[in-house]
Amino acid sequence: MRSDSVKFGLERAPHRSLFKALGLTEEEINRPLVGIVNASSQIVPGHMHLDQITAAVKTGVAMAGGTPIEFPAIGVCDGIAMGHIGMHYSLPTRELIADSIEAMALAHGFDGLVLVPNCDKIVPGMLMAAARLNIPAIVVSGGPMLKGRSGDKEVSLTDMFEAVGAFKAGKIGEEELAELEDCSCPSCGSCSGMFTANSMNCLTEALGMVLPGNGTIPAVYSARIRLAKATGMRIMELVKKEIRPRAIMTAEAFHNALSVDMALGCSTNSMLHLAAIAYEAGVAFDLDKANAISAQTPNLCRLAPAGPHFVEDLYAAGGVPAVMKELSRKGLLKVDCLTVTGQNVGANIAAAENRDTTVIRPIDEPYAPTGGIAVLKGNLAPYGSVVKRSAVAEAMLRHEGPARVFDSEDNAVKAILAGEIQKGDVVVIRYEGPRGGPGMREMLMPTSVLAGMGLDAEVALITDGRFSGATRGASIGHVSPEAAEGGPIAFVQDGDMIAIDMNNGTLTLKVSAAELERRKAGWMPPPPKINQGYLARYARFVSSANEGAVLKI
């Protein structure tokens, strides 16, 4: 056992004395030591119940003959961090989470890990750590929030952000705004639509790193506690059989994750996070591969913000296994991939059933013949950009309009709220990338305000930053190379015509190459917005968005 390095032999007597100081008995010390990484905090609604989930995991570990030892992980609530300096820190915490788990796991000789995340950056950060460490590991998340209700309308956090724009446009009053504020987020858990947190929980299931049901069992259901106990028991089998994350997170597993991503219409942030996890797992990943899978994978689900359904509806319809079963009917999955169940994907989904074809379309009757996410390239984004095509109005799949250029999200939001953006405009927000942000802020505010004002089907947004999984409309993010690296987006000027074609995957700045070269003459990036502390170090080492915005030595 790995923990032998900290507990066996004469020279480890001092170590054993410290374990005994923790209250552990000889019997507990002699068992496999399993680290339980708990992201619980009192600031993130998706984490407020994780102590209960973690307690169930620990029960499962003990039932199966292991010694569970809990330690914490940090987490940022993207909703609370949205629209101010806090959002600069959200994506960079993914690396902090992975690094801290690496440090704790290796410093203390754990035999295995159970990772207990929820919400946007915590899930991928923990998966990155699992892939990097490559010791037996399994994930069980806190699960999705229940959908809210306002009168006879089902609502989520998206509606709350869009209500701000609706109020500014005079479409709703203070009373309706206050009612939405009270009912949009009715329970603990990750926000109820197919936003980034739930996207990553579902894709973790597609990768094979969780027990079936993890992606969709609601946070408040007792089935979630039973799942946590089963997860605690299961890690002991993984430890016993030395089944490691890199045996599960293979190239074929990432193929499955991308296929499920396209079928579900997940958050565009999944392109960042899957790339980062693949980097840690030593698996090649690029946006061209994602586009190739999108081209052959039908879009089967339209969950909020792309449609009327929520993650609890997906759970009732059969969850991720039912989606994967539909994909398997057309040979779109690698069914021989090993998973943490000890069985392959094919065995895991054999009994799955699509119980509601209004939520999960049959493979022969999809919403669209291609995936929910599209990668666009062109002279404005030579390395690529990403859009949630399934959440875009049909009329905006092809669009051409004049650029309205802003060097920060804050300035763009001010212009939108002031009514300065016109129908047909293409709003360009730059210097918000991984390096230029720094931290690649998630921009739910400008997109939701536009939607609330009724302009989401008539105005496009383009940025080297990123958009929330709760975003809908023609919102194109991850433009690479970013402005701070001298990418073409740095040289767009007000009035330049930009052509978007999501069907053919192109993003074109209608300016000649010669004119772009002229504009580049003497260009220097603006000074960093934050030049001290962690973000200054992050900006120095972070890679481009098309590579997952990972820290490279």
User: What residues are labeled active site?
Assistant: 468
Burial 495-529 (b: 16+ CB within 10 A, else e): ebebbbbbeebbbbbebeeeebeeeeeeeeeeebb
The Cα 466–Cα 483 span in angstroms is: 13
Cα–Cα nearest to 180, from 165, 166, 161, 160: 160
Task: Please check whether residue 377 is in contact with residue 509, taking contact to mean a CB–CB distance below 8 angstroms.
Answer: no
The Cα 252–Cα 238 span in angstroms is: 20
For residues 180, 148, 187, 190, the Cα torsion angle rounded to the nearest 10 degrees is -100
Say what angle helices 251-264 and 196-207 make with each other, to 10 degrees: 140
Task: Please check whether residue 276 is in contact with residue 257, taking contact to mean a CB–CB distance below 8 angstroms.
Answer: no
Pairing relationship of beta strands 374-378 and 153-155 according to DSSP bridges? unpaired
Task: Please check whether residue 190 is in contact with residue 118, taking contact to mean a CB–CB distance below 8 angstroms.
Answer: yes
What would the DSSP string read from start to end of 522-539?
Answer: T--PPPPS--SHHHHHHH
Sign of CA dihedral 178, 184, 185, 186: positive
Residue type at 1 in one-letter notation: M
Helix (H) or strand (E) holding 328: helix 319-328
What would the DSSP string read from start to end of 114-165?
Answer: EEE--STTHHHHHHHHHHHH-SSEEE----BPPPEEETTEEE-HHHHHHHHH
Helix (H) or strand (E) holding 69: strand 67-72
The Cα 30–Cα 12 span in angstroms is: 13
